[in-house]
Structure 1
Amino acid sequence: MDRLRELLENSNRQAWIIIGLGFTTIIALSFLLLSNRPVSSTQPEFASQSFMSGSGMTASSSTAVTTSQTSVNTTMYVDVKGAVKQPGMKKVESTMRVIDAVQLAGGFASNADEKQVNLAQKLTDSQVVYIPKRGEQVPAAVSGTSGATAGGAGSESQAPQVNLNTADLTGLQQLDGVGEKKAQKILDYRQEHGGFKSADELKNVNGFGDKTLERLKPQIIV
């Protein structure tokens, strides 16, 4: 009987030991899990805020660049003449072209010769945009003006046409081989005969023969 009691007491003691060890193990595991748990996630939030702040700075910089580029688009003025519906001085932007100036002038007149004009040419400040009529040669006053639009490709290499009936002494000297003395002879002939009826009359002026007339014909109008 005593032996049985002793065995029971030993069994109870072992059971409590096992229970105690199990409880200790559970506490240890719980502490280990709690110690490995992340404290907070503030770092990603901070990074996100920093990224947003950086994005804001980038957007601001982009806006500044766009504003700077827009400011380059300056305002200018050009003088539109000839066969347009509303000729005169027009306010334009530096990015505009001749066709834009024509549109600001109300468009082409019904008798405009569009083929003589380079509509794609960029405008410059103080430029004269001249639209000739059909069959009209661009006046010398316009051809000799800086920035004038007179004709398409290759027109800049052509000599300016001079009107024998309206050009002054200086204007007549623009003709190839015509100096002050010959220019004065043209003026004298024009005054004496009431003007030139045709370009061929130039050979009636002293010092102008058939060869000279042939050379000057592309440069003169009446």
Structure 2
Amino acid sequence: MDRLKELLENSTRQTWIIIGLGLTTLITVGFLFFGQQPVADSQPAFASESIMSSAEGTTTASSAATTSQTSVSTTMYVDVKGEVKQPGMKKVESTMRVIDAVQLAGGFTSRADQKQVNLAQKLTDSQVVYIPKHGEEIPASSAGTATTGGAASSESAAPQVNINTADATALQQLDGVGEKKAEKILAYRQEHGGFKSVDDLKNVNGFGDKTLERLKPQIII
């Protein structure tokens, strides 16, 4: 009788142990299944957000690069001469025009003839911008044309100056003519009543045959 009772108690204990293990297993499996479900759902969203952020960053960088390329300008130098308040070499940008160079040179003088100059022309490096005065005749191609260096290009782009009417400032626009030579031309003109021909310039001290040949395309009577 005692033996039977002992067997029944062991059987009951084992049953409860099995039931307990089963419940523990079910709880563990349920926890693992339901606990991991949000993590699995969140991963695609995170990946999607990462892709969108990457795409937005690429678009922004591309836009910035395009803006940077379109806004880049090149630094150049032009020589502004004639009827401006502050003639000389000016530092400009490749996006500027003749009117911008004139403004950098202090603007027009009261004697400037703006009608002979294409103020809307874009500037180029080493360009000579010449502003004539009223009554001074220059070739249309001379006002603001670019020179590339060398004697031939400088002469073809240089303004024509009337040595019988030009003042000291205008005379100094001639190639190689500074303040002293300009004064000599004025003195000869006053003493002899003007130049009868271009060749008379050889009678002025400092102007020889070679100098005259170089200046002939630039001067008129």
Q: TM-score w.r.t. structure 1 length?
A: 0.48
| Structure whose CA Rg is larger | 1
Q: TM-score w.r.t. structure 2 length?
A: 0.49
